[in-house]
C-alpha cells in the first residue's frame, strides 16, 4: 500500500472510532453517577477518542509524506484538519473538566465536519508559488487549532441552551435553537445527498461564459439552479428550475449555489423526519437527557475555551497570517475577505470577553454568543471560500 492509501484508510478508521466513542459518551447519560465523576463508559469513551485522534494524526502524517507538503492546502485538507483539532481541543478540555456530556456534542460536530470535508476533491494537489513557505503551515495549523478551541465553546453553549431554554412554548428562542440544530441537519443533508448522487454517477453539464471565456461545468447533483446565462448540454436531465443571479460571481457560483440549495432541502427533510419520529422539536427531545448537567460547569467551559482559544486564534489567524502575507505578498495586511473575516472573528470574541466582565452576560446570553461565534468561524471556513472571492480561495 502506498502512503496515500494508508493515509486515507487511517482517516476512515479515525472516523469510525469517533463514532464508537460517541456511543460510549452517550451511555454515560444513563449511568447513576453525577457528571464530573468518571464512569467506566466515560473512560472507554475518552480512550477511544484518543485512539481515534492518533489514527487521524497518522492520516495527517502519511498524507504529508505522500504530498511532500503539509496537508492543509485545500478545502478538504484544511477542513479535515479543523475536525482533528476540534477533537484535540475536546480532549484537553475533557481532562480539565471531566464533563462527559461534552463528548456527546463535541465528537459528533467533529465527525460532521470531517464528513463534510470528505465531500470535496481529495486528490493531492500541488502548491502554487504563494503557498510555498513554512509560514503557510504554521499559520493554517495554528489558526485551525485556535478556531477548534473556540468551537468547543459552541458545543458547551449548545448544551447550555438545550438544557436552559424553556421548551414549553414556541417562541424566538426555541425557534432559534431549533434553527441551529437544523443547520447541523443541513450539513448532514449535504453529505447524504452528495454521497447518494455520487453513487449513482449522476452528471449534468452546462456551458456558459466565465470571465469572457467559454466554460463548461459539471454538476454531480440534479440541477435546481443553472449557472447564469448557461445552456444545459447533457440531454434528458432534470431541471434546471431557475438560474443563478448575475451578481454571484465566484468561480463555479452556479454549481455551488445548487449544492447549497440541495443541502438546505436535504436538511429540511432529515429534520422534519426526525421531528416526526420524536413527535417534538429536536431540542425539546434532547432536553431530558441533560437533566443531570450542572450549568455552572458548562458556563465555565464555554468561557474557558474562549479564554484558551482566543490567544491561539490571535497568534495563528492574525499574527502568523500577517507574517505569511508579508513574506508572500510583501504586505502583512491586505483587506482580503478571508483576512477581514478573521478580523471579524477576532473582534467578536474580544467583544465576548469584554461582555463577560459584566455579570449579566454570563450564562444564557453568553451561550448564544458562543453559538454566533461558531457561525462566524464556519462562515469564514466555508462560505468565504465559496461565496466571496479572494486570494485564499482554496476551492
179 binds, among ligand HEM, other proteins, none (CB under 5 to 8 A by kind): none
- Is the peptide bond preceding residue 80 cis, with omega within 30 degrees of 0? no
H or E element, residue 226: strand 225-226
Name the minimum Å distance from CB 388 to ligand HEM: 23
219 binding other proteins? (CB under 8 A):
no
Candidates 301, 35, 338; CA nearest to 150 is: 301
The C-alpha angle with vertex 381 and arms to 379 and 248, in degrees rounded to 5, equals 60
40 binding ligand HEM? (CB under 6 A):
no
**Are 93 and 305 in contact, with CB atoms under 8 Å apart?**
yes
Distance between CA atoms of residues 7 and 60, nearest Å: 7
315 binds, among other proteins, ligand HEM, none (CB under 5 to 8 A by kind): other proteins
350 binding ligand HEM? (CB under 6 A):
yes
Name the minimum Å distance from CB 135 to other proteins: 9
The C-alpha angle with vertex 283 and arms to 21 and 277, in degrees rounded to 5, equals 85
- Is the peptide bond preceding residue 240 cis, with omega within 30 degrees of 0? yes
Size of the site for other proteins (CB under 8 A): 65
Coil/strand/helix, residue 103? helix
**Are 343 and 329 in contact, with CB atoms under 8 Å apart?**
no
Q: Which three cell numbers stand for residue 16?
A: 469510525
15 DSSP 8-state letter: H
Residue number, 279 or 291, with CB nearest to other proteins:
291
Stretch binding other proteins (CB under 8 A), from 86-94, 228-236, 266-274, 349-357 = 349-357
Count Cβ neighbours within 10 Å for each residue of 174-209 and write b for 16 or more, e otherwise: beebbebbbbbbbbbbbbbbbeebeeeebebebebe
Sole binder of ligand HEM in the list 357, 358, 359, 360 (CB under 6 A): 357
Binding string, residues 172-211; x marks residues near other proteins by CB under 8 A: ----------------------------------------
Partner residues linked to 291 by β-bridges: none
43 binding ligand HEM? (CB under 6 A):
no
Q: How many CB atoms lie within 10 A of CB 253?
A: 22
Using CB under 8 A as the binding rule, the residues of this chain from 289 to 318 that contact other proteins are: 294-297, 299-300, 303-304, 307-308, 310-311, 314-315
354 binding ligand HEM? (CB under 6 A):
yes
365 binds, among ligand HEM, other proteins, none (CB under 5 to 8 A by kind): none
Q: Which residues are at the interface with other proteins (CB under 8 A)?
A: 4, 66-67, 96-97, 121, 123-126, 128-130, 132-133, 164, 246-247, 249, 294-297, 299-300, 303-304, 307-308, 310-311, 314-315, 319, 322, 326-332, 334-337, 340-341, 343-344, 347-348, 350-351, 354-355, 357-359, 362-363, 384, 388-390
Amino acid at each position: 500500500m502506498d502512503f496515500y492509501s494508508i493515509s486515507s484508510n487511517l482517516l476512515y478508521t479515525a472516523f469510525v472510532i469517533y463514532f464508537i466513542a460517541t456511543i460510549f459518551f452517550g451511555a454515560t447519560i444513563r449511568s447513576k453517577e453525577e457528571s464530573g465523576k468518571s464512569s467506566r463508559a466515560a473512560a472507554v469513551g475518552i480512550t477511544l477518542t484518543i485512539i481515534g485522534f492518533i489514527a487521524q494524526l497518522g492520516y495527517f502524517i502519511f498524507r504529508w509524506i505522500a504530498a511532500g507538503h503539509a496537508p492543509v492546502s485545500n478545502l478538504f485538507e484544511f477542513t479535515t484538519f479543523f475536525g482533528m483539532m476540534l477533537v484535540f481541543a475536546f480532549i484537553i478540555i475533557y481532562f480539565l473538566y471531566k464533563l462527559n456530556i461534552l463528548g456527546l456534542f463535541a465528537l459528533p460536530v467533529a465527525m460532521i465536519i470531517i464528513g463534510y470535508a470528505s465531500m470535496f476533491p481529495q486528490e493531492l494537489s500541488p502548491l502554487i508559488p504563494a503557498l510555498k513557505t513554512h509560514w503557510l503551515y504554521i499559520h493554517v495549523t495554528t489558526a485551525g487549532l485556535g478556531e477548534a478551541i473556540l468551537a468547543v465553546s459552541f458545543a458547551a453553549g449548545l448544551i447550555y441552551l438545550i438544557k436552559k431554554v424553556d421548551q414549553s412554548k414556541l417562541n424566538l428562542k426555541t425557534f432559534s435553537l431549533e434553527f441551529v440544530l437544523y443547520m447541523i441537519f443541513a450539513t448532514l443533508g449535504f453529505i447524504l445527498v452528495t454521497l447518494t448522487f455520487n453513487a449513482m454517477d449522476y452528471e449534468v453539464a452546462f456551458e456558459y461564459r466565465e470571465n469572457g471565456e467559454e466554460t463548461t461545468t459539471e454538476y454531480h447533483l440534479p440541477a435546481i439552479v443553472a449557472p447564469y446565462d448557461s445552456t444545459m448540454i447533457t440531454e434528458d436531465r432534470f431541471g434546471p428550475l431557475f438560474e443563478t443571479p448575475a451578481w454571484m460571481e465566484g468561480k463555479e457560483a452556479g454549481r455551488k449555489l445548487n449544492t447549497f440549495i440541495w443541502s438546505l432541502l436535504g436538511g429540511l427533510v432529515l429534520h422534519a423526519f426526525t421531528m416526526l419520529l420524536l413527535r417534538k422539536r429536536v431540542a425539546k427531545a434532547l432536553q431530558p437527557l441533560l437533566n443531570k448537567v450542572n450549568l455552572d460547569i458548562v458556563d465555565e467551559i464555554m468561557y474557558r475555551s474562549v479564554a484558551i482559544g482566543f490567544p491561539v486564534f490571535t497568534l495563528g489567524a492574525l499574527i502568523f497570517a500577517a507574517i505569511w502575507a508579508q513574506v508572500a505578498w510583501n504586505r502583512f495586511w491586505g483587506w482580503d475577505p478571508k483576512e477581514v473575516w478573521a478580523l471579524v472573528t477576532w473582534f467578536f470574541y474580544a467583544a465576548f470577553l469584554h461582555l463577560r466582565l459584566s455579570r449579566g452576560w454570563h450564562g444564557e446570553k453568553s451561550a448564544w454568543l458562543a453559538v454566533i461565534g461558531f457561525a462566524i468561524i464556519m462562515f469564514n471556513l466555508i462560505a468565504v471560500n465559496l461565496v466571496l472571492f479572494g486570494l485564499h480561495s482554496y476551492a
